[in-house]
Chain A
Amino acid sequence: MSLQPAGTDVASRAQSVIDEFKGLEGPLLPILHGIQEEFGYVPSETVPVIAEALNLSRAEVHGVVTFYHDYRNHPAGRHVLKLCRAEACQSMGGDAIAAQISQALGIGFHETAKDNSVTLEPVFCLGLCACAPAAMLDGEVIGRLDADKIEEIVAEVRS
């Protein structure tokens, strides 16, 4: 059994991500993307490690993390469903689709299902505006959402 204090592992994993990107010009966003890929979110314990490595204040790093919608401060569910809420999708009944998905999953936007199966997030445009309404499930794009496709999505996240 490890006797290391909690957080040491986080710090060392964060450090290896930092080392990978530190040489880039303007490395903070690539580092934060790397941290989120490593942990599934940006743990608050990594902020001082990043700040130290880049000679920034913790406040500066915190400010950047919280500015961008992509960075999470807690882990997401096993699946992440991003549903487009922008105008082109609205013009094709996106609001009704959003209501149906929300009801089928039993969660609202920015929420994670109790069984941790899925997190529902709004997104403003996936560039699929000619095949609206559109969504992205774990990085896979889905166009022309309808009742059948919602059913497939629900089955996929519950499996």
Chain B
Amino acid sequence: MTVTIYVPGDSGALALGADKVAKAIEAEILAHGVDARIVRNGSRGLYWLEPMVEVATDAGRVAYGPVSAKDVPSLFDAGLVTGGQHKLSLGDPEKIPFLAKQTRLTFARCGITDPLSLEDYEAHGGLTGLRNAVKMAPADVVKQVTDSGLRGRGGAGFPTGIKWKTVLDTAAEQKYIVCNADEGDSATFADRMIMEGDPFVLIEGMAIAGLATGATKGFVYIRSEYPHAIAVMSKAVEVARSAGVLGKSVLGSSEGFDIEIRSGAGAYVCGEETSLLNSLEGKRGVVRAKPPLPAIQGLFGKPTIINNVISLASVPIVMDKGADYYRDFGMGRSRGTIPIQIAGNAKHGGLFEVAFGLTLGEIVDEIGGGTATGRPVKAVQVGGPLGAYFPRALFDTPFDYEEFAKRDGLIGHAGITVFDDSADMLKMARFAMEFCAIESCGKCTPCRIGSTRGVETLDKVAGDIEPEKNLALVTDLCNTMKFGSLCALGGFTPYPVMSAINHFPEDFRPVPVAEAAE
């Protein structure tokens, strides 16, 4: 029987040499005359172990990692194809604590299946949700999504079902489903992982959204910084089309739905939904004022569902297992699971999907294992460049939309960047302003000009020019940006800036002259 060896084709694994590993394995297969094939799976999300090679044995999957090309000959000598022992052996990957502790609903298949095999996808429960949706009335599909409690995973946390209902209830000849795959926040890579590792789940989620609202056309707007995700999604759409999942008749039904993959052009602000719609239309990615809501007048002025990748990719499980099944995970008004991305200076960086409710400390210290450098954790930024910096003192905050808001923070797209004690929080606050200045679309004054003035004023603080007065000025400026900006770019830049000032005041004071030793 042909043995299957899995070598991730995920960008993160590629960045750590997975292609070289695959090539070396191919050479060893030939040299040893072994009956084996290589599948380029997605990543399981344990990036400190990537490239993580897995072998399907009679006793289940056996993992090895982190594997480099030079380890491959010794792995074959140790009997890799039968799961033999080696210094890189990790055993059953599902038993690695980082994976065993997770609740994988959205990422159930990611890292397990061949991303471009629809057979593999179906064999692991794929398309069940869409098959159920095909048999249901659109309003019932929308109700099931609403009842699941699913909220937008892009950051805003708006109830997905309510967006869908607005589009369903708005009559129009043409409606659109737009998937926001402009995952520009630092520390986030969940969208990329799902697009590279399980693209069909996103396609299925979008098709369900189409059936539920009468939209026949979908767009996936993927940032240009993700060439691998664009390639995998484009191939997956072709496969889905030729298999009748997409096209004039979705799974043999009377409803049609098709998807087009579009590439962004390097503008962070296009992750904002109205700016993304302008970009898709071929315009400058300038933010639109709301109302009108995109659900009523969206792409080309037509009713449009615009959802994040993870929101749409979480729909198939809701339609497969039911609203209650999904809603029973989580806490408060944050229902279901959230793929937390542990990034930056973390010992165990990667993707951890779990029900809402873990505390920040559990995530950073226990799951992430502290810092990669081994130094103490000074701060973590939650929610990307527009998210607040949390000090250790707030590590008891539960991972929940409302709980984070209470602490003047946000979950955002659930990315967490860990910083060790070498971090300079004044520098990070300045960077937040600088980033806003570079990426501002320019439409509203608080964001366009406020960010530039913010950089200058923080430079004065750093230069010890009237620090008290200038910090008061930054605080006032942040207030104007927060309440006066048109979108979250200018409106949320104050989160990292003010949290850095409030939680790490010592970094904003001039360095005291060292007193002479006694």
Contacts and interface: CB of A to CB of B under 8 A. Distances in A.
Interface of A: 24-30, 32-33, 54, 63-64, 67-71, 82, 86-92, 123-132, 134, 136, 139-144
A25 B221 CA distance: 13
Given A26-B281, A92-B345, A141-B11, A127 B47 contact: no
Which of B187, B217, B264, B279 has its CB near the most chain A CB atoms (within 10 A)? B187
B284 interface: yes
For the complex of A and B, 3 pairs with smallest distance between CB atoms: A28-B282, A143-B15, A130-B349
Given A28-B282, A87-B385, A68 B265 contact: yes
Interface of B: 11-12, 14-16, 47-48, 50, 183-189, 191-192, 217, 224-228, 260, 262-268, 279-286, 300, 341-346, 349-351, 372, 381, 384-385, 415, 417-420, 423, 428, 431, 435, 438-439, 441
B12 A87 contact: no
Contacts of A142: 15
Nearest to A66: B284
Contacts of B346: 130
B349 A86 contact: no
Given A88-B186, A124-B439, A131-B16, 7 more contacts: A26-B282, A88-B415, A126-B11, A127-B192, A129-B189, A130-B351, A139-B227
A144 B346 CA distance: 13
B188 A130 contact: no
Given A88-B344, A129-B343, A32 B186 contact: no
Contacts of B415: 88, 129
A57 B31 CA distance: 62
Which of B48, B260, B344 has its CB near the most chain A CB atoms (within 10 A)? B344
A131 B264 CA distance: 23
B172 to A, nearest CB: 15
A68 B300 contact: no
Given A87-B428, A88-B344, A142-B15, A128 B189 contact: yes
A90 B430 CA distance: 13
B189 A86 contact: no
Given A130-B47, A131-B16, A68 B285 contact: yes
B263 to A, nearest CB: 6
A128 B196 CA distance: 13
30 contacts: A26-B300, A27-B282, A29-B262, A29-B280, A54-B282, A67-B441, A71-B265, A86-B435, A88-B186, A90-B431, A91-B423, A92-B345, A123-B225, A124-B184, A124-B268, A125-B188, A126-B225, A127-B183, A127-B189, A127-B225, A127-B226, A128-B11, A128-B12, A129-B187, A130-B48, A130-B189, A130-B346, A130-B351, A131-B349, A143-B12
Contact of A29 (B263, B350, B384): B263
Contacts of B266: 68-70, 123
Nearest to B267: A68
A131 B47 contact: yes
B267 A67 contact: yes
A128 B186 CA distance: 9
B188 A129 contact: yes
A87 B435 CA distance: 10
